[in-house]
Amino acid sequence: MTDRPLVRMTGIGKRFGGVHACRDIDLTVTAGEVHALLGENGAGKSTLINVLSGVITEHDGTIEVDGEPVSFAGPADAQRAGIATIHQELDLVAGLSIAENMFLGREPRTRLGTVDIRRMRRQAEAHLRTLGADLDPRRLVGSLRVGEQQLVEIGRALSLRARVLIMDEPTAALADAEVERLFATIAELRRAGVGIVYISHRMAEIELIADRVTVLRNGTVAGTVDPRLASREDIIQLMVGRSVDALFGEGRNEPGDVLLDVRGLAVTPRRPVPGRTEPAGVDLTVRSGEIVGLAGLMGAGRTELLETLFGAGGSGRRVGQVTIGDRPYRPGGPRAALARGVAFVPEDRRGAGLMLEHSVADNVVLSALSSLTTLGLVRRPLLRRTVAEQLTTLAVKAASPSIPVATLSGGNQQKIVFAKQLLRRPRLLLLDEPTRGVDIGAKAEIYHLLHRLADSGMAILLASSELPELLSLCDRVVVLHRGRTVAMLPRASATQQAILAAANGDDVKESR
Amino acid sequence: MNPPNPTTVAASPPETPPSRRAIRLPKDRHAIVDNFFRFQSLFGLVAVFLIAIAVSPSRNGENVFLSSGNLANIVRAVSEIGIIAVGMTFVILIGGIDLSVGAVLGLAAVGSATLMVDSGLGIVPTVLIVLFIGTAFGATQGAIVARIGIQSFIVTLAGLQAARGIARMWSGGLGIPIAYGEGPQEAPEAFSLLSGSINGVLPVPALIFLAIGVGALLVLRSTAFARHVYAIGGNEKAARLSGVPVRRVRVTVFAISGLLAALAGIIHAGQLNQGSPNDGAGYELDAIAAVVIGGTSLAGGSGSMGGTIAGALLLGILNNILALNNIDANVQLVVKGLVIVAAAALQRLRPRIA
C-alpha cells in the first residue's frame, strides 16, 4: 500500500433542481484498499459514484487521479483513466458470449479488420483464470448465473486495466457461497494494488472486507471510520443519524393451525429452462401466524418453489400434494392463486413487481381492481381512499399517489409492491428476497410489517439469501438443496453453520 | 441506481406519515410542463388548425378552409382512419401492433357489398355478420399472439395477407358496385345514408367516429379493463403476477381492433357505393401515424384516446390544407412524414420523470 491516493475527490457537490444530492464530499481511494461507502438510499452514494465514473459530468469540486486533476466528459473518459464500475444491474448483453462481452466495443482485430476471435477468447480465458473462474469464454452470458455474470464484469474491468473498481452492491444478487468467492476475488484484486470502492447495505460484509468506511448522510460525509475500531452500532448511528433500536422485533404470538402443507412437491417442466431448478421433492408446512424462512444456495430452487406455489412457474407435470387450509391447492395461474388468498412479492421488483412509469396509485390497486369497480367501472373516490389508507398503513414516503413509482426510493418501491399484494388480504404471503436493495431504515420497517402481519394471523413464507435476516425473522427455516427440502430447522437449532451445511448438501438430519 | 429524487425528499418529512392533505396533485412547474406534453397533440391540432386558416386560399372573400362544406369534408375523410386508430390505440397500449386493419377494412367492404347485393340480405344482418367477421378475425389474431406467444407484428402481418386473400376470393378479385333499390342485385336504399349528412352538415361517418371516439375515451378513463390494458403495456410480467388476466385482455384488445376495422369497412362501402378487395390498403400505417402523433408510446403502457382522436384530425386537416393549396400529393406524403417525426421527437423531449 502506498500513501499517495489513486483517486482524490475534493469538495464534490451536485444539485438536482434545488436539491443538493451531495455537497462538499471528500473521498480518497488508495491502491490496494477496500473503501466501503455506506448510507441510506438517497444519501448521495449513487450521485458520488456517478461523478467518479463519469456519468455525471457537471458537478462542483475536483477529481485527481494519480495527483493529476482530471475532468471526465463521459464514462469512457473515466474508464481510460482506469476507473471501472460494476453496476448493480449488470451491463452485459445476454445474447453474446463471455469473451464478446468482455471486449465489447474494443474487439481485437485481425489484419483483415475482422474480429480476432481466437485472441479474444485467449485473453478472456486468461482474465477468467486470474479470477479463479472456470468458465468457457464461448458460453453465452445469458446462460450464466448472476454471480458468474458478475465475474465477467470484473473480468472486463481487468481487461480495461482498471486500477479503481467501483462495485455497487455486488452481493445483492448473490448466494452466500458466491459471496465468499467474490470476496476471494476482491482479496486478489487488492493484492494486485487495485483500489476498490465498495457499496453495500450489509454491515457484516463491510466488517469483513473493508479497510475504511465512509458513511454518507443527506448528501454529506457523516464520518469516515475504521471498521475494525468502530462498532456496528456506531456505524448505523452515523448512517441514520439516530440509534436504531431493535432492528428485529421480539415477542411474537404463538402460531395457529397449519395453513400451507406441501408434501413431495416436484415439477417436471415441459420445456426445461437452463439455470432454473424446479421443485424436486419439497416438503414444508407453514402455520398461520408463522414466518417460515426458505434458505439455500443460488440455484437451490427457492424462487422456483415460490413461483410454483403462486402458479407462476413454467408449465409441466406436477406430483405431490399441496393443501391450503384443508382443501387441495393447484393454482392454474396467479389469478387463481390470488383468489385462494395467496399473494407473492417477487424478487425482481422492477422487472416483475411494478409498472415503473405508472403512478403509485395505479400500481397499488392493480391486483384489487375487482373490489373497486361496479360493472367494470372504477369507483374513483373509493379507489383514492383505498390508496391513501394503504400508503398510510405502510408509511410509504411519496409526494403524491399520482407520481411515477420510478421516482421513489428502493425501500418505498418495495412497500408499493407489498401494498399491492396486501390489498387482496391474503392468508399466505410468499416473499422472495423482500429486502434486497432496500436501505437499513426501510428494512427495519419491513421487518416490523412482517411481524405485524404474522401476528394478525397471516402465514408467511420468505426466501432470503441473507442468513442473519432468516435467523432473526423466522420461526423456522426450511433449507433447499437442488430443489429438495434437506432440512427444516426450528428457530432454536437454526444457526448459520447448520443452514450453510444443509444448503451445501451435507447430510443434516435435524428434527423434521 | 436510483437518481436522488427531490420530490420525495422535499414533500414529506420522514417523521410524519403521509396525511390525506399530502396526497394531492403537485401544482408546480413540473405539472405544467407535464401537462403540455400530455396534451401535446391537442396543442398540435390547434396550431395546425390556426395555420390552416392563415394559409387557406379565399374565394369571394370567404376563407375556403373554414367553410362548412370543407370542414365537413375533413371530418368525413378522417372518420375511417379515425375509427381504425381508436382500435389501434388499444393494441398499441398493450405494446402490440395491428397491421391487418387495412385488409380487414377491405374484407368488410367486400363483405358488405356481397351480402347485400349478391345474397340479398338486409342491412342489419349484413352489418352484424360483417362486424362478427372482423371481430372474429381480430380475436383469432389475438389468441395466436396470447397463446403461442408470437409477436403481434408477425401475426398481424400474416393476418393482413390472409384478409386480403379472403377478400379477393370472396369478390372474385373485382370491386363489387352497390346499386340501391328494391330489386334483386340491389342494396337497401338506407345503406346510402352512410354517404349522407345530418342536416346537410355533419356527415354520418363523422358522427359514428365521434360516438366511437367518445365511447373509447370513457372506456379508457374509467374501466378496470383499461387499467389492465395499461398495466400489460407497462410491465406484462408484473401485470400477470398481480392477477391481471393477460391473455383475455390481449384477445379482447385485438377483437376490438378487428371490430372497428370492420365497422370502418362498412362505412367505406357505404361512402363509395362499392366494396373492393383492395380497399383500405395502407390504412394501417395512417392509423398508426394518428396514434403516434397522439402521443401514445409504441412501447406500450402510456398514451391516451384523446391524443389519437386529435392525431387523426390533425392528419386530416394537414391533407386538406395541402390539397386546398394545390400542393402535389407527393409533397403531402413528405409533409406527413415530417409531422410524424416531429411528434415523436416531442415525445422524446418529455421529461421522463418530472
- Chain B CB contacts of A89 under 8 Å are 1
Among residues A305, A339, A286, the alpha carbon closest in space to that of A459 is found at A286
**CB-closest option in B20, B238, B302 to A354:** B238
H helix intervals, A27-175: 45-52, 75-80, 98-102, 117-130, 146-159
Flag whether residue A504 sits within 8 Å of chain B, measured between CB atoms: no
Residue-wise over A355-373: b if at least 16 C-beta within 10 A, else e?
bbbbbbbbbbbbbbbeebb
Instruction: Write down the number of H helices and E strands in chain B.
Output: 14, 6
Contact A410 B2 (CB under 8 A): yes
Strand partners, A490: A476
Flag whether residue A42 sits within 8 Å of chain B, measured between CB atoms: yes
Contact B4 A367 (CB under 8 A): no
Contact A356 B234 (CB under 8 A): yes
**CB-closest option in A337, A351, A373 to B237:** A351
Instruction: Indicate the angle between helix axes B29-38 and B329-349, nearest 10 degrees.
Output: 150
- Chain B CB contacts of A313 under 8 Å are none
For CA atoms A356, A75, A175, A453, the dihedral sign is negative
Question: What is the pLDDT, as a whole number, of residue B245?
Answer: 93
Which numeric CATH code is attached to B68-349? 1.10.3470
pLDDT along chain A (512 residues), means of 10: 77 77 89 88 81 89 90 88 84 89 86 89 88 86 83 85 88 75 87 90 82 88 86 78 51 80 92 82 93 87 93 87 92 91 90 89 90 88 91 86 85 91 93 84 86 92 86 90 90 82 64 38
Distance from CA of B336 to the nearest CA of A (A): 30
Flag whether residue B19 sits within 8 Å of chain A, measured between CB atoms: yes
Q: Three-state DSSP class for A115?
A: strand
Query: Which triple of cell numbers denotes residue B165?
Result: 386473400
Asked if A464 and A450 touch (Cβ cutoff 8 Å), the reply is no
- Chain A CB contacts of B228 under 8 Å are 369
Instruction: Indicate the angle between helix axes B329-349 and B305-324, nearest 10 degrees.
Output: 150
**CB-closest option in B11, B14, B224 to A378:** B224
Flag whether residue B23 sits within 8 Å of chain A, measured between CB atoms: yes
Among residues B67, B62, B16, B79, the alpha carbon closest in space to that of B270 is found at B79
Using one digit for the tens of pLDDT, what is the confidence trace for B168-206?
A: 999 998 999 999 988 888 889 889 888 888 887 899 999
Q: Which residue of chain A has the CA closest to B234?
A: A355
Using one digit for the tens of pLDDT, what is the confidence trace for B122-144?
A: 999 999 999 999 999 999 999 99
Asked if A200 and A215 touch (Cβ cutoff 8 Å), the reply is no
Contact A355 B224 (CB under 8 A): no
**What distance separates the 2 farthest-apart alpha carbons in chain A?**
74
Mean pLDDT, all residues of chain B: 87
Asked if A172 and A149 touch (Cβ cutoff 8 Å), the reply is no
Contact A351 B235 (CB under 8 A): yes
B:180-239 residues touching chain A, CB 8 A cutoff:
222-225, 227-228, 230-231, 234-235, 237-239
Tell the residue number behind the cell numbers 455537497, with chain if given. A23
Among residues A171, A189, A49, the alpha carbon closest in space to that of A468 is found at A171
Q: Three-state DSSP class for A193?
A: coil
Question: What is the pLDDT, as a whole number, of residue A172?
Answer: 72
Q: What is the architecture of the domain spanning A1-82+163-243?
A: 3-Layer(aba) Sandwich (3.40)
Q: Which residue of chain B has the CA closest to A421?
A: B242
What are the φ/ψ torsions at residue A250 (nearest 5 degrees)? -125, 180
Flag whether residue A315 sits within 8 Å of chain B, measured between CB atoms: no
Which numeric CATH code is attached to A259-341+426-512? 3.40.50.300
For residue B350, pLDDT over 90 is answered with: no
At residue B154's C-alpha, the angle toward residues B152 and B160, to 5°, is: 95
- Chain B CB contacts of A46 under 8 Å are 1-4
Amino acid at B240: R
Question: What is the pLDDT, as a whole number, of residue A250?
Answer: 53
Flag whether residue B301 sits within 8 Å of chain A, measured between CB atoms: yes
Flag whether residue B240 sits within 8 Å of chain A, measured between CB atoms: yes
For residue B11, pLDDT over 60 is answered with: no
Amino acid at A82: G
- Return the H-helix or E-strand segment holding A16: strand A5-16
**CB-closest option in A87, A399, A424 to B1:** A87
Flag whether residue A367 sits within 8 Å of chain B, measured between CB atoms: yes
**Which of the listed ranges A77-86, A122-131, B16-25, B90-99 does the model predict with the highest average pLDDT?**
B90-99
Question: What is the pLDDT, as a whole number, of residue B351?
Answer: 58
Asked if A324 and A411 touch (Cβ cutoff 8 Å), the reply is no
Query: Which triple of cell numbers denotes residue B325?
Result: 393549396
Strand partners, B247: none
Separation of alpha carbons B87 and B262, rounded Å: 11
Neighbours of B76 (CB within 10 A): 20
- Return the H-helix or E-strand segment holding A83: strand A83-86
Q: Is B209 left (phi over 0), alpha (psi -120 to 50) or beta?
A: alpha
Contact B353 A408 (CB under 8 A): no
Q: Taking the CA atoms of chain B, what radius of gyration do you get in angstroms?
A: 22
Question: What is the pLDDT, as a whole number, of residue A210?
Answer: 92
Contact A333 B240 (CB under 8 A): yes
Strand partners, A344: A430
Question: A1-82+163-243 and A259-341+426-512 share one CATH topology?
Answer: yes
pTM higher than the cut 0.90: no
**CB-closest option in A346, A370, A406 to B241:** A346
Amino acid at B35: N
Reported ipTM exceeds the 0.90 cut: no
Asked if B134 and B159 touch (Cβ cutoff 8 Å), the reply is no
pLDDT band at B308; cut points 50, 70, 90:
very high
Question: What is the pLDDT, as a whole number, of residue B32?
Answer: 67
- Chain A CB contacts of B353 under 8 Å are 404, 406-407
Tell the residue number behind the cell numbers 410468499, with chain if given. A430
B:25-44 residues touching chain A, CB 8 A cutoff:
25-26
Distance from CA of B23 to the nearest CA of A (A): 5
